Amino acid sequence: MQLFHNITKRSFGFNLLVIIGLVVLLGFIFFSSLSFLTRHGEVLTVPDVRGKSIKDATAALEKLGFSVEVRDSIYIDTMPALLVYEQTPERGDVVKVHRTIYLTVNKVVPPMVPMPDLEGLTFRSAEMTLRARRLNVGDTIYKPDFATNTVLQQLLNGKPIKPGKEIPEGSNITLVLSSGTGSVENPVPETVGLTYMEAKEVLAASNLNIGTVLIDGGVTDTLGAFVFKQSPPRRNELGELNLIRAGESVDLWLSATRPAGKDSTQVRKPAAE
C-alpha cells in the first residue's frame, strides 16, 4: 500500500519517465541477449559424411551441433546398403549451428525395372539403353552372324530374359553379339530327314543360323516336324558339296512326315565324300 501511495504521489510526468526507462532497459536486455540465444555469428564447416553408415553420420553431425534428416534414398549396386550417398549442404560448406543436414542413403532392396528389348541393337545402343534403366552390361559373348556387332540374344544369370520382365535394378545383363561371318567356308550340313529340333542342333554345332522356316499345313508340333528341304542344299546340281561360312543362314521346309528314304541316323552319320 505504501508503494502504491508513493507512486500515486508522484506526478504523471515522473511516472511516465519511469515507465519509458523500464521499457528501454528491458529492450536493451532483450536485444543484448538475442545474439546469445540465437548464437548469431556462430558458424561451422559441414564435414564429409558420405560413405558412412546412417548411425555414424548422424552421430558425427549431431556432435557438432547439426540436426539430421534422411530426405531421400537411391540404389547404387556397387555400394553397401544404408550408407550415405549424398548430403545437403555439401561437405566444406560454412553454415550456422543447428542447421539441418539432409542425407540421401543407399537402399537395402533394389527397385525393379522392366528388361528392355536389346536384340538387333548395336552394342553401343544396347549399352546406353541398359544404363538408362540402371542396368549393367555383364559378359559379352561373340557368335558368328552376318550382322556384325549387333545383339543376338540377351541373358540374365545365363538364361534368356524376355523384354518387359521385371528384374532388380543393377542386374548384369550378358549380351550375345555377332562377330560377323567367318572367313573359312565349310560344307553345308545335311538336315533333310531330321526333326526341326535336331536340325537346330546340327546347324548350331556348325555356327550356322536358321533362316526362313516354311511349315506345311499338317504340322501340329513344330519341334517334332521333319525337314524335307533346305536352302542351300548340301549338294548342287553337279553333285558337288555347297560351301557356307559360319554365321550364315540355312532356310528350312518342314512337314508332318519324314521324307521317304531318310532317317535321323542316316543323316547324322558322315558319308564318305
User: Domain holding 210: CATH number?
Assistant: 3.30.10.20
Instruction: Give domain status of residue 8, yes or no.
Output: no
Same domain flag for 139 and 174: yes
Same domain flag for 237 and 264: yes
Which of 156, 178, 200 is the last residue before a domain boundary?
Answer: 178
Same domain flag for 259 and 195: yes
Same domain flag for 234 and 189: yes
Instruction: Give domain status of residue 214, yes or no.
Output: yes
Which of 141, 163, 178 is the last residue before a domain boundary?
Answer: 178
Instruction: Give domain status of residue 5, yes or no.
Output: no
Q: All 3 cell numbers of residue 166?
A: 521385371
The C-alpha atoms of residue 171 and residue 179 are separated, in whole angstroms, by 25
Instruction: Give domain status of residue 240, yes or no.
Output: yes
Q: 60-79, pLDDT tens digit by residue?
A: 999 988 999 998 888 888 88
Of the listed ranges 159-163, 185-189, 269-273, the least confidently predicted one is 269-273
Closest CA to 194 of 230, 219, 162: 230
Q: Is 29 helix (H, G, I), strand (E, B) or coil?
A: helix
Same domain flag for 87 and 145: no
pLDDT band at 267 (very low <50, low <70, confident <90, very high): low
Residue bearing the bigger pLDDT, 24 or 214: 214
The C-alpha atoms of residue 212 and residue 232 are separated, in whole angstroms, by 12
What does the pLDDT read at residue 41? 54
The C-alpha atoms of residue 266 and residue 260 are separated, in whole angstroms, by 12
Same domain flag for 253 and 202: yes
Overall domain count for the chain: 3
* Contact status, residue 87 vs residue 119, Cβ threshold 8 Å: no
Instruction: Give domain status of residue 127, yes or no.
Output: yes
Which of 142, 160, 178 is the last residue before a domain boundary?
Answer: 178
Same domain flag for 250 and 189: yes
pLDDT band at 9 (very low <50, low <70, confident <90, very high): low
Same domain flag for 257 and 189: yes
What does the pLDDT read at residue 118? 96
Q: All 3 cell numbers of residue 110?
A: 533394389
Closest CA to 242 of 182, 203, 194, 186: 186
What does the pLDDT read at residue 6? 54
The C-alpha atoms of residue 64 and residue 44 are separated, in whole angstroms, by 8
DSSP-assigned beta bridge partners for residue 177: 142, 151
Instruction: Give domain status of residue 9, yes or no.
Output: no
Q: Which domain holds residue 99?
A: 43-106
Same domain flag for 120 and 95: no
The C-alpha atoms of residue 134 and residue 66 are separated, in whole angstroms, by 34
Residue 50, CA distances (Å) to 60, 65, 85, 144, 228 in order? 12, 18, 6, 47, 67
Same domain flag for 171 and 147: yes
The mean pLDDT of 187-206, rounded to a whole number, is 94
Same domain flag for 150 and 81: no
Q: All 3 cell numbers of residue 36?
A: 546469445
Instruction: Give domain status of residue 224, yes or no.
Output: yes
Instruction: Give domain status of residue 14, yes or no.
Output: no
Closest CA to 248 of 211, 217, 220, 208: 208
Same domain flag for 92 and 155: no
Q: 219-242, pLDDT tens digit by residue?
A: 999 999 999 999 999 999 999 999
Decide the pairing of beta strands 249-255 and 209-215: parallel
Q: pTM for this structure? A: 0.53
